[in-house]
Amino acid sequence: MRLLLVEDDAMIGDSLREALRRQGFAADWVRDGQAADAVLSSGERFDAVLLDLGLPRLGGVEVLRALRARGDATPVIVLTARDALADKVAGLDAGADDYLVKPFELDELLARLRAVTRRHQGGRASPVLQVADLKLDPATREVTRAGRPVLLSAREFALLEALLERPGAIVSRAQLEDRLYGWGEELESNAISVYMHQLRKKLGADLLHTVRGLGYYAGPEKGGMA
Ligand code: CA
């Protein structure tokens, strides 16, 4: 398995790369955000990226946003020294698959790596979800509308996935909140409508509908359900 390690701390980077190599990984190491962005946009393929957030020249969140904006679904685990909720949220929102707070045990990193790459590659079992020309691939976490990739935050993705699992079925706000609570953050009471608004802005409003007092559904608009 080929990994890209993005870490500006020489001691952490060196020991992590050595540890990963001893585990049989091919680990490439770059020390700043611009170098990471250059490697990741060069067409080289990695099975996963370990990405520090606090980086010189270009921040980790920016590197990640740029990667996802190119439609690249390579699994990314964010490494952050700061145990701040805001950092984890920013990483996940920018498209990270998981995060680890430094210092972490190598065993934990290896377990997370296995999990994200299994989700990424082995997701063949989970079918692509689709209504009309809107598609969501749970395995690669790619969303397309009319064949064009659309970049969603982690929460927007989770929300859309919940709706597309049962096209046409009304899903209540409480059910949707349950899906998003998995990210470990307190939700504002209007969070779901805010995320729905975002989804409509990114994907178009014609396939995402609100049924007042009941919830939301994805699919062609049903007549008489104003
Ligand atoms: Ca750093």
* Spacing, Cα 9 to ligand 1 middle (Å): 6
Q: What is the pLDDT of residues 132-173, one digit of tens each?
A: 999 998 777 789 999 999 998 877 888 998 899 889 999 999
Q: What is the pLDDT of residues 168-206, one digit of tens each?
A: 999 999 888 877 664 444 667 788 999 999 999 999 999
Per the model's pLDDT, the better-predicted residue between 27 and 130 turns out to be 130
Burial group, residue 85, by CB count within 10 angstroms (0-12, 13-18, 19+): exposed
Burial group, residue 131, by CB count within 10 angstroms (0-12, 13-18, 19+): middle
Q: Which residues, including other chains, have CB under 8 Å from residue 92's CB and lie 6 or more apart? A: 78, 99, 153, 154, 155, 183
Q: What is the pLDDT, as a whole number, of residue 182?
A: 41
* Spacing, Cα 193 to ligand 1 middle (Å): 35
* Spacing, Cα 4 to ligand 1 middle (Å): 15
Q: What is the pLDDT of residues 84-97, one digit of tens each?
A: 677 778 888 889 99
Q: What is the pLDDT of residues 19-57, one digit of tens each?
A: 887 776 778 899 999 999 999 999 888 889 999 999 999
* Spacing, Cα 18 to ligand 1 middle (Å): 18
Q: What is the pLDDT, as a whole number, of residue 226?
A: 45
Q: What is the pLDDT, as a whole number, of residue 186?
A: 62
Q: Does residue 113 have a pLDDT over 60?
A: yes
Q: Say if strands 76-80 and 215-218 run parallel, antiparallel, or are unpaired.
A: unpaired
Q: Domains in the chain, start-ordered, CATH in brackets?
A: 2-120 (3.40.50.2300), 129-218 (1.10.10.10)
* Spacing, Cα 55 to ligand 1 middle (Å): 5
* Spacing, Cα 202 to ligand 1 middle (Å): 32
Positive/negative CA dihedral, 105, 18, 96, 163: negative
* Spacing, Cα 209 to ligand 1 middle (Å): 43
Measured between alpha carbons, how far is residue 27 from residues 120, 136, 224 in Å? 19, 30, 57
* Spacing, Cα 52 to ligand 1 middle (Å): 6
